[in-house]
Amino acid sequence: MGGTPLYFAKAKGATLTDADGREYIDYVSSWGAIILGHAHEAVTEAVAEAASRGTSYGAPHEGEITLAREVIARKGIDRVRFTNSGTEASLAVVRLARAATGRTKLLKFEGNYHGAIDSLLAKAGSGVATFGLPDSAGVPADSARTTLTARYNDAEDVRRLLEANPGEVAAILLEPVAGNMGLVPPESGFLESLRQLCDAHGTLLVVDEVMTGFRVARGGATELFGLRPDLVVMGKVIGGGLPVGAYGGRRELMEMVAPLGPVYQAGTLSGNPLAMAAGHAVLSRLTPSVYSHLELVGQRLEAGLRQAAVSAGVPAQVQRVGSMISVFFTESPVRDFEGAQGTDKALFGRLFHALLRRGVYLPPSALEAWFLNAAHTVETVDRTVEAFGAALREVRQGGHVEKR
């Protein structure tokens, strides 16, 4: 985005305060980890209370069970294991999927992100799909070669890759609602086709709900879309703003993990008492009324942004699922990574700075989803829409990206 990154000093509700004391309406919500609002009293109290009883035991404790029960009930899975981040959970799931199937290859989607993991950084373009070239420096070619990449929302591309690699693909990794290339919803039939293809090819369907889990619905995207996963990866909301990830699934798969089974995975701070307490404080408060509020403010923001773009005469696509939303500056709906990359990112950059000056903090990238939290109100959304309209009128003609 250019400029100097903002440093923040505090956060409360839907508001961030930077080191110079300026306030912003926050649409990052810690990249989706915050759902009740920043510094929610129940969460800060639960963390303080847990800390007073010790910050880590390196041994089992009741807090893990309490959060695990909530997660299992919401996700309809048999077993869950906690990690310290989404990346760590994805790493563990890949190992488990390879062990369970005796296969090595993975299939992921262009523009989907599952953590900074060598084998999962491959993302875009036919060259990557064909040759498995590393997408990040430092990734061994051998590691990237085992990863196939398909076009998002394109089940035929997946079918082709599975047929070209018969009996070799351990798992398909999927963001059920793509949030790491801006917000790209799954098209009707896409998720169902993936389930059928996995069944036909003996491939495990790993649904990455790090962003969507407990956010887009009580049980996450699998509930919202009626999708049956083999394994689920979770993070963000599950830790209430503390470092947590998790993975889970059917009993026979999860019992392959040590000490019951031969797949090793561990972490000194996994199941950390502070993180478990924060996660439970949040999940236990995610009631139907919280989801209806998020939907209400989400709808209002979507409609307002769309109208403001029309009034400013700027072609824009406002794409949303629940409290995840983004605006792409382009003529037609964005359905995959290529489409997302082809949008007017320079305009987004100018808008980002124009909105900062008006006290609205968006994700500093045209290719990231914006996140609402329960502290966003009709009033904060209306103020945002007004600022968005004014910012868009200011920046629509082009010009340099403002340095702050």
Strand (E) or helix (H) holding 49: helix 41-52
- Give how far the C-alpha of residue 256 lies from the chain's centroid of Cα atoms, to the nearest Å: 27
**Whole-number Å distance between alpha carbons of 129 and 122:** 8
- Catalytic site residue from 230, 236, 336, 361: 236
What whole-number distance in Å separates Cα of residue 247 and Cα of residue 81? 6
Question: Which pairs with CB-CB distance under 8 Å and at least 24 residues apart come from 128-136?
Answer: 129/161
Residues 86-105 that bind ligand PMP (CB under 6 A): 86-87, 90
Residue 291: active-site member: no
Query: Token digits for 333?
Result: 């709906």
Name the minimum Å distance from CB 211 to ligand PMP: 4
Residues 6+ apart with CB under 8 A from 317: 327, 328, 330, 332, 333, 334, 343
- 160-189 positions binding ligand PMP, by CB under 6 A: 175, 179-180
Which residue's CB comes closest to ligand PMP? 86
Hey, what's the torsion of the CAs at 219, 225, 229, 233, to 10 degrees?
-50
Interface with ligand PMP, residue 272, by CB under 6 A: no
- In three-state secondary structure terms, 204 is strand
Question: Per CB under 6 A, does 340 bind ligand PMP?
Answer: no
Q: How far apart are CA 280 and CA 146, in angstroms?
A: 37
Output 109 or 328, the one with its CB closest to ligand PMP.
109
Between 175 and 344, CB nearer to ligand PMP: 175
123 is catalytic: no
CB nearer ligand PMP, residue 37 or residue 179: 179
> Is residue 263 part of the contact set for ligand PMP (CB under 6 A)?
no
Binder of ligand PMP out of 8, 17, 18, 31 (CB under 6 A)? 31
Listed in sequence order, the residues at least 6 apart from 38 whose beta carbon sits closer than 8 Å to its beta carbon are 11, 12, 13, 14, 15, 16, 26, 29, 30, 241, 373, 375
Q: Which is nearer to ligand PMP, 8 or 31 (CB)?
A: 31
Identify the residue among 38, 74, 75, 114 touching ligand PMP (CB under 6 A).
Answer: 114
Does residue number 247 form part of the binding site for ligand PMP (CB under 6 A)? no
Q: Give residues 49-88 in contact with ligand PMP (rule: CB under 6 A).
A: 85-87
Closest distance to ligand PMP from the beta carbon of 84 (Å): 8
CB of 216 to ligand PMP, least distance (A): 12
Judged by CB under 6 A, the chain residues 222 through 241 that form the site for ligand PMP are 235
- Is 220 among the residues that bind ligand PMP (CB under 6 A)? no
Question: Residue 368 CB, nearest distance to ligand PMP (Å)?
Answer: 9
What minimum distance in Å lies between the beta carbon of 371 and ligand PMP? 11
With binding defined as CB under 6 A, does residue 208 bind ligand PMP? yes
The answer to whether 280 touches 85, Cβ cutoff 8 Å, is no
Can you tell me which of 210, 254, 276, 356 binds ligand PMP, judged by CB under 6 A?
210
263 closest CA partner among 79, 113, 86:
79
> From the candidates 26, 118, 157, 208, which is the catalytic residue?
208
Exactly one of 113, 214, 328, 348 binds ligand PMP (CB under 6 A); that residue is: 113
Please provide residue 320's backbone torsions phi and psi, each rounded to the nearest 5 degrees.
-150, 145
Give the count of residues interacting with ligand PMP (CB under 6 A): 16
3-state DSSP assignment of residue 172: strand
Task: Please report whether residue 245 would count as binding ligand PMP according to CB under 6 A.
Answer: yes
Sequence-ordered strand ranges (E) for 117-238: 147-150, 169-174, 204-208, 231-235
Is 344 known to be catalytic? no
Chosen residue from 37, 63, 115, 182 binding ligand PMP by CB under 6 A: 115
Q: Is 264 exposed, middle or buried (0-12, 13-18, 19+ CB in 10 A)?
A: exposed
Largest Cα span, the chain: 62
Residues that bind ligand PMP (CB under 6 A): 31, 85-87, 90, 113-115, 175, 179-180, 208, 210-211, 235, 245
Active-site residue list: 113, 208, 236
